[in-house]
Amino acid sequence: MKATMHLKALVPADGQQLRFWIQTLFVALCLWIGVEFTLWYYWHEGTGDIFVTRPPGVEGFLPISALMSLWYLLLSGTIHPVHPAGLFILIAFVVMSVVLKKSFCSWLCPVGTLSENIGEFGKKIFGRNFGVWRWLDYPLRSIKYLLLAFLVYVVFFQMDVPSLGAFLDSPYNRVADVKMFMFFKDISQTSIIVIGILVLFSLIIRNFWCRYLCPYGALLGFIGLLSPFRITRNAASCIDCSQCAKVCPNRIAVDRLKVVMSDECTSCMACVDACPVSQTLQMKASRKSTFSVSSRRVAAAVVGLFVAITGLAMLTGNWASSVNETEYSRRIQDIDNPIYQHNQGSAPPEPATAPRQSAPSAPAAQP
């Protein structure tokens, strides 16, 4: 009992402060993975002096490969051995969405955290965040759904088990993490300009990337519609202060709704924490339900599901990739080979290796 009370004392009482610390810890974890992967890459390239093992968590930044692995698992019933950590990380995010809408976006996603803080910085510079006209907002929001529709069409409708397996086993996918690292290591001027434009828009419009362009946010939003929990408003006790709508990072008119059904809701709990009237805004399975989910419970569920699902992958031997250190070293040394190019959604197969002939035996000694 004392241990439980001591643990509660360590957890911030304010829901948004708690969310901030969880976001910060997850960003720190991602940065640590990035440092480890950088040291690992340069060691195998031959220019580094520090050897570390490859961190499997880097596969969380391979969403397309993970999506293909998930579809491969659903069709074949088999976990593909290349980059399985990415698969289980994606499964964790999907399960989070089924339970608590797209809570990953507001509690764990490092890009979402960065976008949110850039928006807060912009608010300090300009005095407020700006919104897009409603007539333009809807068409812009459709972009992420169109990107999602393209991904779904290519992966779910154009690829069967053999083609999925061929891609997942291809030379390109086997070093997809290395290719991703090299994209940022040798980033082009065009990519810098595009990222700069996204940062600029994020300063002006809060969560610009998440609201208009992120296809995985769109996917988790659709999955989140399966969640039994919704933000509900008690109109009888509501004082119409509109604080809930003002703090909502996704511009949902919470103050006008009895139940928030929007796929834009990320369960950030900002509206619930901002409400000045107790039990007026709550996250519940239904308006008549007596059980509500607090910010602490959302935090515990998000962190607990992520740790449980990734931990299950580790315990069952489905965390480390089948691409071993020796193979990585060989492929990194040959990374400029055309077989590692990804052109128009397909990767060229690895050329067949001619059978190695046995060495000729030494000539017999002359008498």
- For residue 26, give the nearest of 143, 107, 135, 138 by alpha carbon: 107
Compute how many other C-beta atoms are within 10 angstroms of the C-beta atom of residue 178: 23
Report residue 351's pLDDT band, with 50, 70 and 90 as the boundaries.
low
Query: What pLDDT shows up at residue 348?
Result: 54
What is the rounded average pLDDT of the residues 315-335? 94
Number of residues written out for the chain? 367
Cβ atoms of 312 and 85 within 8 Å: the answer is no
What is the rounded average pLDDT of the residues 77-100? 97
Report residue 3's pLDDT band, with 50, 70 and 90 as the boundaries.
very low
- pTM of the complete model: 0.88
User: Over 50: is that where the pLDDT of 161 sits?
Assistant: yes
Query: What pLDDT shows up at residue 15?
Result: 87
Query: What pLDDT shows up at residue 355?
Result: 40
Query: What pLDDT shows up at residue 247?
Result: 93
Instruction: State percent of the chain over pLDDT 70.
Output: 90
Q: Which residues contact 38 (CB under 8 A, 6 or more apart)?
A: 181
User: Over 60: is that where the pLDDT of 11 sits?
Assistant: no
Question: Taking the mean position of all CA atoms in its chain, how far away is CA 137?
Answer: 24
What is the amino acid identity at position 237?
S
How does strand 292-293 pair with strand 230-233? Answer: unpaired
What is the rounded average pLDDT of the residues 224-236? 94
Both tokens of 222, joined, read: 């659709």
Rounded mean pLDDT of the chain? 89
E strands present in the chain:
230-233, 281-284, 292-293
Give the bridge partners for 346, in sequence order.
343
Query: What pLDDT shows up at residue 357?
Result: 39
Query: What pLDDT shows up at residue 229?
Result: 94
- Locate tokens 């001591």: which residue? 6
Report residue 134's pLDDT band, with 50, 70 and 90 as the boundaries.
confident
What is the rounded average pLDDT of the residues 31-49? 94
Spatial separation of the C-alpha atoms in residues 60 and 39, rounded to whole Å: 18
Instruction: State percent of the chain over pLDDT 90.
Output: 80
| Higher per-residue pLDDT: 361 or 184 | 184
Spatial separation of the C-alpha atoms in residues 285 and 269, rounded to whole Å: 15
- For residue 160, give the nearest of 84, 80, 71, 67 by alpha carbon: 71
User: Over 60: is that where the pLDDT of 192 sits?
Assistant: yes
User: Over 50: is that where the pLDDT of 185 sits?
Assistant: yes
